[in-house]
Amino acid sequence: MSAIEQSYALAKEKYAAIGVDTDAAIKTASQIPISMHCWQGDDVGGFENPDGQLTGGIQVTGSFPGKAKSPEELRAQIDKVMTLVPGTLKLALHAMYRETGGKKVDRDEILPEHFNNWIAWANERKIGLDFNPSLFAHPLSDPFTLSSPDEKIRNFWIKHCIISRKIGEYLGRETGKVCVNNIWIPDGYKDVPVDRLGARKRLLDSLDQIFDVSVDKKYNLDAVECKLFGIGSESCVIGSHEFYLGYAVRKNVLLTLDSGHFHPTETISDKISSVLLFVDQILLHVSRPVRWDSDHVVVFSDDLKEIALEIVRNDFLNRVHIGLDFFDGSINRIAAWTIGTRNMAKALLYALLEPTAKLKKAEQNGDYTTRLALLEEMRSYPFGAVWDYYCESCGAPASGEWVKELL
């Protein structure tokens, strides 16, 4: 018996004493899809314009060597990360990562076939693909897209989003795994606007046109993503939380909650149970803001654990789609991907090892002393031993081992 197996045997006994089946927790954790984001590897560059500049309130800082410069390099990086992370993975694409064989194809003319290389790659690995229309870093995206007062610009982006939904349907059909298709726009005002309503009416009309086009929900699920503010939209974001929450309820689409898109004192873990009373499913973009929506690498923080706990405690695993959204060019990009993705997987396992039924019973009985005492005692339980065993059982390196491969 290896040292990891010995440690796990002791941990398993410890958790069993409080009614937790570690084997069952590991099995469940291994089946929860986590959608990695392709844009960490190339600093949200995409392949349509090598010299393009990010716009829409997005910034990637740092110039660490190793930025992917081709689809092949990017896929090779992702392959490496996938060997270092336990469990089930998906990959989220942006429209700007299409491959057109060197032809200039604008975003209102892209085709499903432009993602065939990604589909072939995904099918070889038996993973699903998610999708995002790219409504930023384009000559027609500054400062407004779907809420633009210019009808030609609005129509350009409406067409792009309709095409993106068809691409999502294609990805889902070709991989055999449902594609979550997420719309986020950067539209907003740097200073206080006079007519918020007009812009939001235009956005509402644009979205209605986009979603009036039928796609098969068996293959494509639509989501809309809110935001509080961004660089260049500090005073007003047109697609606010209130706007998209109402729209998601009205249209029965997914609401996307990004952990970096709210006030620094807000946490999306508190929003999950409320939102899921009114919509069927949600998409999470798990990130880490530092003073603003800065998309730092996800760490194993209390905030991350609370997100996972809220999902597990309420049996939301089949109603919450978990995606990652961070980008750091200041450190090794493969390491950044690995750290963030492993931490999301780690948080889910951590949540599955909680004696939720016992805690809920104490809470319902008004026994808050037992609730707090048990929650605090759980902090020093041998979680690390279960995590290492989980990694090893999935063929991924245990704690600390993966670092040796990269550094």
pLDDT of residue 56: 63
Of 43, 174, 293, 328, the active-site residue reads 293
Cα end-to-end distance, the chain, whole Å: 29
Residue 100 in 3-state DSSP? coil
Residue 51's pLDDT is what? 67
Cα–Cα dist 344/286, whole Å: 8
Instruction: Give the burial class of 212: count Cβ atoms within 10 A of its Cβ; 0-12 exposed, 13-18 middle, 19 or more buried.
Output: exposed
Mean pLDDT value across residues 11-15: 98
On the question of pLDDT at 49 being above 90, the answer is no
What is the pLDDT at residue 391? Answer: 97
Q: In the predicted model, is pLDDT for residue 64 greater than 70?
A: yes
CA 41 to chain centre: 15
Percent residues over pLDDT 90 in the chain? 86
407 pLDDT band, cuts 50/70/90, is confident
Active site residue 293: yes
Helix (H, G, I), strand (E, B) or coil at 232: coil
Among the options 138, 160, 227, 305, which is catalytic?
227
Q: What is the mean pLDDT of residues 170-174?
A: 98
Strand pairing of 236-237 and 188-189? antiparallel
Contact 35, 93 (CB under 8 A): no
Following DSSP, what letter does each residue of 124-149 receive, concatenated? HHT-EEEEE---SSSTT-SS-STT-S
Catalytic residue, chosen from 43, 169, 325, 354, is: 325
What pLDDT is recorded for position 264?
Answer: 83
Residues 60-79 have a mean pLDDT of 90
* Unique residue bearing structure tokens 């950067």: 186
Give the pLDDT score at 183.
98
How far CA 262 is from CA of 72, 227, 259, 265, 294, in Å, comes to: 35, 6, 7, 8, 12
Region 161-168 average pLDDT? 98
Choosing from 138, 261, 321, 346, the catalytic residue is: 261
Looking at residue 320, its pLDDT comes to: 98
pLDDT tens profile 271-284: 999 999 999 999 99
For residue 402, what are the contacts with CB-CB under 8 A and spacing of at least 6? 84, 338, 342, 396
Among 295, 310, 354, 388, the one annotated catalytic: 295
Q: Domains along the chain?
A: 1-20+355-407 (no CATH), 31-352 (3.20.20.150)
Q: Is 325 a catalytic residue?
A: yes
pLDDT band (50, 70, 90) for residue 339: very high
Active-site entry in 48, 187, 258, 354: 258
Q: Which residue in the list 177, 271, 285, 321 is annotated as catalytic?
A: 285
Write the burial class of residue 71 (CB in 10 Å: 0-12 exposed, 13-18 middle, 19+ buried): middle
Residue 295 known to be catalytic: yes
User: What is the mean predicted confidence (pLDDT) over 74-84?
Assistant: 97
What would the pLDDT profile of 199-233 be if each residue is shown by its tens digit?
999 999 999 999 999 999 999 999 999 999 888 88
Q: What is the pLDDT of residue 66?
A: 87
Considering the candidates 42, 169, 222, 225, report the single residue annotated as catalytic: 225
**Band (405; pLDDT cuts 50, 70, 90):** confident
- What's residue 54's pLDDT? 61
**Of the candidates 222, 205, 208, 204, the residue with the CA atom closest to the CA atom of residue 166:** 222
Annotation marks residue 227 as catalytic: yes
Asked if residue 38 has pLDDT above 70, the reply is yes
Q: Which of 121, 157, 184, 402 is catalytic?
A: 184
Peptide bond preceding 143 in cis form (omega within 30 of 0): yes
Collapsing DSSP to helix, strand or coil, 219 comes out as coil
Lowest mean pLDDT among 60-69, 264-273, 322-331, 332-341: 60-69
Note if 184 is an active site residue.
yes
Distance in angstroms (rounded) separating the CA atoms of residues 304 and 81: 20
DSSP state at residue 288:
B
Measure the CA–CA gap between 76 and 2, rounded to whole angstroms: 32
